[in-house]
């Protein structure tokens, strides 16, 4: 069996170290040099000939993170790696997965093409914004589910009147899967947008009075939708409301919005590193989940056991 080596890009270094530790070996040696104009030049500081290489990097904007990953893939292929697996905990540009208006890009498909053209043999990611993005790839893709991290945490809270909520219609399937697992009800927050990152109106479909509500989503950006949903839910008589979200993009006034919100807490993972501290934000690590997936892939085992 080919030797396994794990390397990290600049952006996801802390998560990569944790994944490698959970896997049982240190990160490989990789240097990413930069010219004075910002041009990047990655080089492997050890032989990777004939090895199965796992390159860990979330493709969170700026575009440098995606380009850096592509350059690492290209360098690994040219160094005669046996297989190159791009581990992308957060797959950026996933919100642009279709033409929802004329003359726009389907960026999620373009990013898939870029990664495949760079030479990736396999992709490993977590909670894509839309599951059908898997079909944009013509190579194997392991789509891990954040529920493996969140379900044990939610069980530890032992909320007496638990109910799940989708912050928008697009998240109904995600919230329903949690509700089905916990054998409780769910509600939906129906929102209308005038433009990106701005909610014009919202209403709650379902009964939340006296309930401990948990909002479920795949990512949180400016936190406008989530905070608005939490406010309306509390106005409807809910006992408490918290949010469980895989990817904490947290841009713009997100931290301020969350601090000033009625949310009991926001639970996210470390697929994207936090830029600020917040008493209301709890971070759970996906490192063990990815380490187990790497073990399964390299051992030609099924990853189904990782799903709840």
Q: Are residues 169 and 279 in the same domain?
A: yes
At 225 the pLDDT is 86
Number of folded domains in the chain?
2
Q: Is the pLDDT of residue 190 over 90?
A: no
Q: What is the 3-state secondary structure (H, E, C) of the chain?
A: CCCEEEEECCCCHHHHHHHHHHHCCCCCCEEEEECCCCCEEEEECCCCCCCEEEEECCCCCCCHHHHHHHHHHHHHHHCCCCEEEEEECCCCCCCCCCCCCCCCCCHHHHHHHHHHHHCCCEEEEECCCCHHHHHHCCCCEEEECCHHHHHHHHHHHCCCCEEEEECCHHHHHHHHHHHHHHCCCEEEEEEEEEECCEEEEEEEECCCCCCEEEEEEEEECCCHHHHHHHHHHHHCCCCEEEEEEEEECCCCCHHHHHHCCCCCCEEEECCCCCCCCCCCEEEECCHHHHHHHHHHHHCCCCCHHHCC
Q: Are residues 301 and 238 in the same domain?
A: no
Tokens representing 71 are 């350059």
Which of these, 81, 127, 98, 122, lies nearest to 220 by C-alpha position? 127
Provide the residue count of the chain. 308
**Mean confidence (pLDDT) of the chain:** 94
Q: Are residues 228 and 111 in the same domain?
A: no
At 202 the pLDDT is 77
At 89 the pLDDT is 98
Tokens 């051992």 appear where?
Answer: 299
Q: Are residues 279 and 151 in the same domain?
A: yes
User: Which range (96-100, 148-152, 195-199) has the least confidence?
Assistant: 195-199
**Residue 221's domain is classified under what CATH number?**
3.40.50.2020
Query: Cα(276)–Cα(32) distance, rounded to whole angstroms?
Result: 26
Q: Are residues 30 and 126 in the same domain?
A: yes
Q: Are residues 224 and 131 in the same domain?
A: no
Q: What are 82-141's pLDDT values in tens digits?
A: 999 999 999 999 999 999 899 999 999 999 999 999 999 999 999 999 999 999 999 999
Q: Are residues 163 and 271 in the same domain?
A: yes
Q: Are residues 100 and 167 in the same domain?
A: no
Q: For residue 240, give its domain range.
A: 147-284
Query: Cα(122)–Cα(166) distance, rounded to whole angstroms?
Result: 31
Q: Are residues 158 and 95 in the same domain?
A: no
At 1 the pLDDT is 82
Q: What are 16-41's pLDDT values in tens digits?
A: 999 999 999 999 999 999 999 999 99
Q: Are residues 99 and 204 in the same domain?
A: no
Q: Are residues 135 and 14 in the same domain?
A: yes
* Mean pLDDT, range 187-202, rounded to an integer: 68
Q: Is the pLDDT of residue 198 over 60?
A: no
Q: Are residues 18 and 116 in the same domain?
A: yes
At 154 the pLDDT is 97
Tell me the catalytic residues. 191
């Amino acid at each position: 069996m080919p030797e396994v080596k794990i390397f990290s890009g600049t952006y996801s270094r802390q998560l990569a170290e944790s994944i490698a530790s959970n896997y049982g070996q240190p990160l490989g040696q990789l240097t990413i040099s930069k010219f004075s104009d910002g041009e990047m030049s990655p080089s492997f500081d050890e032989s990777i000939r004939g090895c199965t290489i796992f390159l860990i990097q979330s493709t969170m904007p700026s575009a440098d993170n995606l380009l850096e990953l592509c350059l690492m893939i290209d360098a690994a292929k040219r160094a005669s790696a046996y297989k190159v697996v791009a581990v992308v905990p957060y797959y950026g540009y996933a919100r642009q997965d279709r033409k929802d208006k004329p003359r726009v890009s389907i960026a999620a498909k373009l990013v898939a093409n870029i990664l495949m053209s760079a030479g990736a043999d396999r992709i490993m990611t977590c909670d894509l914004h839309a599951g059908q993005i898997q079909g944009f790839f013509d190579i194997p893709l392991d789509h891990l589910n954040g529920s493996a991290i969140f379900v044990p945490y939610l069980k530890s809270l032992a909320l007496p009147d638990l109910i799940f909520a989708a912050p928008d219609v697009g998240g109904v399937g995600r919230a329903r899967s949690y509700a089905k697992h916990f054998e409780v009800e769910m509600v939906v927050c129906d929102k209308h947008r005038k433009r990106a990152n701005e909610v014009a109106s919202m209403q709650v479909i379902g009964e939340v009075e006296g309930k401990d509500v948990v909002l479920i989503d795949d990512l949180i950006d400016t936190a406008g939708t989530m905070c608005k949903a939490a406010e309306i839910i509390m106005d409807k008589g809910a006992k408490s409301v918290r949010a469980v979200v895989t990817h904490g993009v947290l841009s713009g006034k997100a931290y301020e919005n969350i601090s000033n919100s009625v949310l009991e807490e926001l639970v996210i993972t470390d697929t994207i590193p936090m830029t600020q501290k917040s008493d209301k934000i709890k971070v759970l690590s996906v490192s063990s989940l990815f380490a187990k997936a790497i073990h399964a892939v390299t051992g030609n085992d099924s990853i189904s056991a990782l799903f709840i």
